[in-house]
Copies of this chain bind each other. A is one copy, B any other.
Amino acid sequence: MTTMTSTVSLSQQALLDYWLGHRVLTRRTIEAFPDEALFSFKPTSTLRSFGEMMLEVVGMIEPTLAYLRSGEWTPTMERFEDVRSKTALLAAWDEATRRLMDEWTSVPSERVWAVVPPLPHLVAVPYLIDNEVHHRAQGFVYLRLLEIEPPAFYER
Protein backbone atom coordinates (compact mmCIF):
# COMPACT_ATOMS: atom_id res chain seq x y z
CA MET A 1 0.00 0.00 0.00
CA THR A 2 1.29 3.42 -0.97
CA THR A 3 1.80 5.94 1.79
CA MET A 4 -0.21 9.04 0.96
CA THR A 5 1.47 12.37 1.37
CA SER A 6 -1.14 14.50 -0.44
CA THR A 7 -2.76 17.38 1.37
CA VAL A 8 -6.36 18.50 0.99
CA SER A 9 -6.72 22.28 1.15
CA LEU A 10 -9.79 24.42 1.32
CA SER A 11 -10.33 27.97 2.37
CA GLN A 12 -11.45 28.51 5.94
CA GLN A 13 -14.26 30.60 4.50
CA ALA A 14 -15.44 27.65 2.36
CA LEU A 15 -15.60 25.44 5.44
CA LEU A 16 -17.64 28.09 7.27
CA ASP A 17 -19.98 28.39 4.28
CA TYR A 18 -20.36 24.63 4.23
CA TRP A 19 -21.27 24.61 7.92
CA LEU A 20 -23.64 27.55 7.51
CA GLY A 21 -25.34 25.66 4.69
CA HIS A 22 -26.03 22.85 7.14
CA ARG A 23 -27.27 25.35 9.70
CA VAL A 24 -29.79 26.76 7.22
CA LEU A 25 -31.19 23.28 6.60
CA THR A 26 -31.30 22.48 10.32
CA ARG A 27 -33.07 25.76 11.04
CA ARG A 28 -35.63 24.85 8.36
CA THR A 29 -36.10 21.49 10.09
CA ILE A 30 -36.78 23.22 13.44
CA GLU A 31 -39.29 25.48 11.68
CA ALA A 32 -41.10 22.47 10.24
CA PHE A 33 -42.01 21.22 13.73
CA PRO A 34 -45.35 22.19 15.25
CA ASP A 35 -44.54 24.34 18.29
CA GLU A 36 -46.31 21.96 20.68
CA ALA A 37 -44.36 18.92 19.40
CA LEU A 38 -40.87 20.46 19.37
CA PHE A 39 -40.10 19.89 23.06
CA SER A 40 -42.63 17.17 23.84
CA PHE A 41 -42.80 14.65 20.98
CA LYS A 42 -40.64 11.53 21.48
CA PRO A 43 -41.22 8.48 19.28
CA THR A 44 -40.29 6.31 22.27
CA SER A 45 -39.29 6.98 25.88
CA THR A 46 -35.57 6.34 25.25
CA LEU A 47 -35.36 9.22 22.76
CA ARG A 48 -35.17 12.93 23.49
CA SER A 49 -37.40 15.56 21.92
CA PHE A 50 -36.02 17.28 18.82
CA GLY A 51 -35.91 20.57 20.73
CA GLU A 52 -33.66 19.05 23.42
CA MET A 53 -31.32 17.61 20.78
CA MET A 54 -31.10 20.99 19.07
CA LEU A 55 -30.20 22.68 22.37
CA GLU A 56 -27.29 20.23 22.65
CA VAL A 57 -26.18 21.27 19.15
CA VAL A 58 -26.52 24.99 19.97
CA GLY A 59 -24.75 24.60 23.32
CA MET A 60 -21.62 22.96 21.88
CA ILE A 61 -20.73 25.87 19.62
CA GLU A 62 -19.48 28.43 22.13
CA PRO A 63 -17.23 26.09 24.20
CA THR A 64 -15.78 24.63 21.02
CA LEU A 65 -15.06 28.05 19.52
CA ALA A 66 -13.47 29.09 22.83
CA TYR A 67 -11.29 25.98 22.76
CA LEU A 68 -10.26 26.54 19.15
CA ARG A 69 -9.24 30.11 19.92
CA SER A 70 -7.52 29.54 23.27
CA GLY A 71 -6.50 25.89 23.32
CA GLU A 72 -8.27 25.56 26.67
CA TRP A 73 -11.29 23.35 27.11
CA THR A 74 -13.86 24.48 29.64
CA PRO A 75 -16.50 21.79 29.58
CA THR A 76 -19.40 23.96 30.61
CA MET A 77 -22.22 23.88 28.15
CA GLU A 78 -24.81 26.59 28.24
CA ARG A 79 -27.98 25.27 29.76
CA PHE A 80 -30.87 27.07 28.10
CA GLU A 81 -33.36 26.00 30.78
CA ASP A 82 -35.78 28.68 29.65
CA VAL A 83 -35.71 27.76 25.96
CA ARG A 84 -38.87 25.70 25.57
CA SER A 85 -40.63 27.13 22.52
CA LYS A 86 -39.91 27.29 18.80
CA THR A 87 -39.48 31.07 18.94
CA ALA A 88 -36.97 30.83 21.78
CA LEU A 89 -35.07 27.96 20.14
CA LEU A 90 -34.83 29.80 16.82
CA ALA A 91 -33.55 32.90 18.67
CA ALA A 92 -30.86 30.78 20.42
CA TRP A 93 -30.05 29.17 17.08
CA ASP A 94 -29.63 32.53 15.33
CA GLU A 95 -27.52 33.88 18.19
CA ALA A 96 -25.18 30.86 17.88
CA THR A 97 -24.96 31.42 14.11
CA ARG A 98 -24.04 35.07 14.69
CA ARG A 99 -21.31 34.10 17.16
CA LEU A 100 -19.97 31.51 14.78
CA MET A 101 -19.80 34.04 11.94
CA ASP A 102 -18.23 36.69 14.18
CA GLU A 103 -15.68 34.43 15.85
CA TRP A 104 -14.68 32.22 12.93
CA THR A 105 -12.03 34.67 11.69
CA SER A 106 -10.31 34.43 15.10
CA VAL A 107 -9.99 30.63 14.94
CA PRO A 108 -6.46 29.73 13.82
CA SER A 109 -6.75 27.66 10.64
CA GLU A 110 -4.47 24.93 12.01
CA ARG A 111 -6.96 24.34 14.84
CA VAL A 112 -9.98 23.73 12.64
CA TRP A 113 -9.00 20.09 12.17
CA ALA A 114 -7.79 19.86 15.82
CA VAL A 115 -8.76 17.24 18.37
CA VAL A 116 -10.68 18.25 21.50
CA PRO A 117 -9.20 16.69 24.71
CA PRO A 118 -12.36 15.00 26.08
CA LEU A 119 -13.02 13.35 22.72
CA PRO A 120 -9.48 12.24 21.85
CA HIS A 121 -10.20 10.62 18.51
CA LEU A 122 -12.66 13.21 17.24
CA VAL A 123 -11.90 16.50 15.55
CA ALA A 124 -13.72 19.56 16.78
CA VAL A 125 -15.32 21.26 13.78
CA PRO A 126 -16.20 18.11 11.81
CA TYR A 127 -17.64 16.62 15.00
CA LEU A 128 -19.93 19.61 15.53
CA ILE A 129 -21.14 19.38 11.95
CA ASP A 130 -21.60 15.59 12.18
CA ASN A 131 -23.47 15.91 15.44
CA GLU A 132 -25.79 18.49 13.89
CA VAL A 133 -26.39 16.29 10.81
CA HIS A 134 -26.99 13.28 13.09
CA HIS A 135 -29.63 14.92 15.25
CA ARG A 136 -31.27 16.73 12.34
CA ALA A 137 -31.71 13.38 10.61
CA GLN A 138 -33.46 12.06 13.70
CA GLY A 139 -35.75 15.10 13.42
CA PHE A 140 -36.54 14.03 9.86
CA VAL A 141 -37.87 10.71 11.19
CA TYR A 142 -39.83 12.53 13.91
CA LEU A 143 -41.42 14.77 11.26
CA ARG A 144 -42.41 11.74 9.17
CA LEU A 145 -43.98 10.19 12.25
CA LEU A 146 -45.88 13.46 12.73
CA GLU A 147 -46.98 13.18 9.07
CA ILE A 148 -45.00 16.27 8.10
CA GLU A 149 -42.72 16.35 5.02
CA PRO A 150 -39.14 17.23 6.09
CA PRO A 151 -37.20 19.83 4.07
CA ALA A 152 -35.07 18.56 1.15
CA PHE A 153 -31.75 17.17 2.42
CA TYR A 154 -29.77 18.37 -0.60
CA GLU A 155 -30.94 22.00 -0.37
CA ARG A 156 -28.79 24.27 1.76
Contacts and interface: CB of A to CB of B under 8 A. Distances in A.
A134 B156 contact: no
B8 A4 contact: no
Contact of A104 (B4, B43, B44): B4
A113 B8 contact: yes
A114 B78 CA distance: 36
Interface residues of A, number: 51
Interface string A134-156: 11111011101101000001101
A137 B135 CA distance: 7
Interface in A85-109: 104-105, 109
Contacts of A130: 22, 129, 133
Contact of A133 (B10, B119, B137, B140): B137
Given A6-B109, A10-B8, A113-B8, A121 B21 contact: yes
Contacts of A136: 134, 137
Nearest to A15: B8
Interface in A46-95: 46-47
Q: Which of A110, A134, A137 has the most C-beta atoms of chain B within 10 angstroms of its own C-beta?
A: A137
A121 B153 CA distance: 12
Nearest to A148: B46
12 contacts: A6-B13, A7-B10, A8-B10, A8-B11, A8-B113, A9-B113, A43-B144, A44-B147, A122-B156, A131-B153, A134-B137, A134-B153
